[in-house]
């Protein structure tokens, strides 16, 4: 089976959101992984009638061309607690559909709802989202995420997020933590506090 790349695009009221950032990432991934110079045309995706009202996840599987597009009704996941998990040598700099390694880490989340991955001594992402942290005056996001998300990129470009190296020991310096991805903006994402993050325990 092909190891396909994936773009997840927010479709709200029949409109595909943040397309320029999805297009940029898809083009970059194609160049780096496949050496392809042509563009994946995400702008050409047609929204079906059943997805023209409400909120849908547009899931695009592709390599050097689009292989499959599907629209799935979307509802926000309830996340109240995160558990810090060491990533080891995990690499996920391109958004592949195959997420076995991340899913294996996610399986260790109990008693939390999701994981917050630590790599090389710095926090990175949850299993499905980048994170934003508020220190009382500004919003920060890990400078070295596992996957540089499209929502994250747009918020950095807009000056609403500042990349920073954040070790787990500095989490207590922040007042609020939010999860962000292509489907969730900063204002509508789950809101947590440092006390909602379960630290790594030493044996």
DSSP string, 22-69: HHHHHHHHIIIII---SPP-GGGPPPPGGGSSSEEEEEEEESSSEEEE
Whole-model pTM: value is: 0.92
Selection from 167, 170, 118 nearest residue 146 by Cα: 118
Q: What percent of the chain has pLDDT over 90?
A: 87
Residue 9, helix vs strand vs coil: strand
Q: Is the pLDDT of residue 169 over 50?
A: yes
Angle at 20 between CA 14 and CA 26, to 5 degrees: 105
- Residue-wise pLDDT tens digits, 87-113: 989 999 999 999 999 999 999 999 999
Q: What is the mean pLDDT of residues 168-196?
A: 94
Domains in the chain, CATH or no CATH each: 5-73 (3.30.470.10), 82-198 (3.20.10.10)
Classify strands 114-119 and 122-126 as parallel, antiparallel or unpaired. antiparallel
* Measured distance CA(90)–CA(121) in Å, rounded: 13
């Amino acid at each position: 089976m092909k190891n396909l790349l994936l773009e997840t695009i927010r479709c709200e009221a029949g409109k595909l959101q943040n397309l320029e950032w999805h297009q940029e990432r898809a083009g970059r991934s194609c160049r780096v992984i496949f050496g392809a110079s042509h563009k994946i045309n995400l702008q050409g995706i047609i929204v079906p009638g059943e997805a023209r009202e409400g909120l849908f996840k547009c899931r695009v599987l592709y390599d050097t061309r689009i292989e499959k597009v599907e629209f799935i009704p979307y509802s926000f996941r309830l996340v109240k607690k995160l558990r810090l998990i060491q990533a080891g040598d995990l690499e996920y700099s391109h958004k592949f559909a195959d997420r076995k390694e991340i899913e294996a880490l996610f399986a260790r989340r109990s008693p939390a709802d999701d994981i917050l991955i630590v790599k090389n001594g710095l926090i990175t992402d949850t299993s499905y989202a980048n994170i934003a942290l508020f220190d009382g005056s500004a919003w920060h996001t890990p400078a070295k995420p596992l996957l540089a998300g499209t929502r994250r990129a747009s918020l950095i470009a807009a000056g609403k997020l500042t990349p920073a190296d954040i070790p787990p020991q500095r989490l207590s310096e922040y007042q609020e933590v939010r999860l962000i991805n292509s489907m969730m903006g900063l204002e509508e994402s789950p809101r947590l506090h440092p006390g909602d993050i379960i630290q790594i325990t030493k044996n």
